[in-house]
Structure 1
């Protein structure tokens, strides 16, 4: 006899690991696409996601429980914020990936859960417990080791932009949570966000389009495929198990990114980056264990 809760937990872990691998591959493809504007890279990334989300919505509209593209009036401000800050997060992350070690850019983007906790306090009026505050402080200390602030640090600006990417993603995820409480379906949120991002960057692409080789075009399409795969895999993961039980495995993206960065680009993070990784992942692990303990109580 199968233990269904255990089976679902294993499926949740496997799919979130798949998501982390896909997002690590996405970041690698961003780097491999070469010296192209971040706006142009973002367009292709979101174009593929919009097509995938559109296909899913069309299939569901023909099913027994059709999905409507209509957004209730009270949910529109949250959707707009999700689109705007999600776009900012992607653009900042892409810029950071182009100018930092892939693993460094990935861990800075993974500050988004901590920013989500902070903005949930201000926007959703959710309390921040003292232990959560301590974990957030530890994560930001880790961030300082990775950013290595200083006037002689050539990577300071890209690192700060990477932090802004995590901040934008944190606000976006907070809005996704709010939209979920308003019964707005996930594929609809992905579709509107991806469409908005494409339209937002279109003027820049029209005015300053960088010619691409066939290889660059294929690499950017792969970027979109990996992004869509990661998005749908993480969505599936959270249908199998609650976030507080499996979210820690999302940080495996840093391991995948470090391995791929070393294999493809010969990148080796310095000791300060490793200290930063340990602090951020350690803070995430402590928050994960704390949430599990509270759930058990």
Structure 2
């Protein structure tokens, strides 16, 4: 129950971050919003350094952090652009294709064995992506490909986090990621810089606080609960964003986006379920082998 509540809180905070980004994008370029999200996100993460002490920052994995953050900032810039220029429900729905790319990347980069049923779920998920993007039709927008690119890059980041988490604690990953993203995001922001005015400051501060808060709750939820049980909760971000998109920006959820989102979410839920089943089976077999005497 605690893990479920943490994931629900994370989902709500990420949804509010998306709303804050869209509100700020009316006055600022999304590249600049990304910088402020990281800057204020770093301020929100600084209490972690005080909690653990400066020695907590010692690591032998700095080159891996650097690569992870370079890819991550490219994913963030593409994702923020999509939030600022596409209907919110469409941008969020396409972001859920990340686990599909993660499955492919895990097989290619980590050598993980992916069997037929999970490959079938991946194919089904990409059918959902095609339903949303609709290439070759009047509803196609090249901007939707930016959202797909963000999801692809995010999958590489997810693989890097998986590798880092084997030796690095979650709070250290949060601190280093946010700290490196600040200067990385400043470079493209300087090319489009305009100082925020009035209430826009509230939106960029909120984007940073909500984003870091959501990241913290997300890492803690996954540590306490199984991915297969928690993944469906994260899908609540879509209806939250769709409702705010309708209330604040007069955006409607078209049937193609809804159909594609349901297919993608169903594929992700099945992939998460299969990974959990296989992990439990491997743990059970390992425990059984360890219990055999004389071996």
Q: TM-score, normalization: structure 2?
A: 0.88
1:143-197 Cα deviation digits (max 9, x unpaired): 11111223744x622110001111111111110000011x112222222222222
CA displacement at 1:284 relative to structure 2? 1.7
Asked whether the 8 Å contact 2:66–2:180 carries over to 1, the reply is: no
Supply the distance in 2 between the matched residues of 1:235 and 1:222 (Cα, whole angstroms): 20
Aligned to 1:212: 196
**Bigger CA drift: 191-200 or 212-221?**
191-200
CA displacement at 1:292 relative to structure 2? 4.5
Aligned to 1:5: none
2:69 equivalent to 1:69: no
2:149 equivalent to 1:164: yes
Asked whether the 8 Å contact 2:78–2:147 carries over to 1, the reply is: yes
Aligned residues, how many?
280
Asked whether the 8 Å contact 2:231–2:269 carries over to 1, the reply is: no
| Residue of structure 2 aligned with 1:286, choices 261, 270, 274 | 270
Aligned to 1:135: 121
Structure 1 alignment gaps of length 5 or more: 1-9
Structure 2 alignment gaps of length 5 or more: 282-295
Aligned to 2:5: 14
2:30 equivalent to 1:38: yes
2:111 equivalent to 1:125: yes
CA displacement at 1:49 relative to structure 2? 2.1
Supply the distance in 2 between the matched residues of 1:149 and 1:196 (Cα, whole angstroms): 36
CA displacement at 1:128 relative to structure 2? 1.5
| Residue of structure 2 aligned with 1:108, choices 90, 94, 105 | 94
Q: TM-score, normalization: structure 1?
A: 0.88
2:222 equivalent to 1:238: yes
Aligned to 2:41: 49
Aligned to 1:179: 164
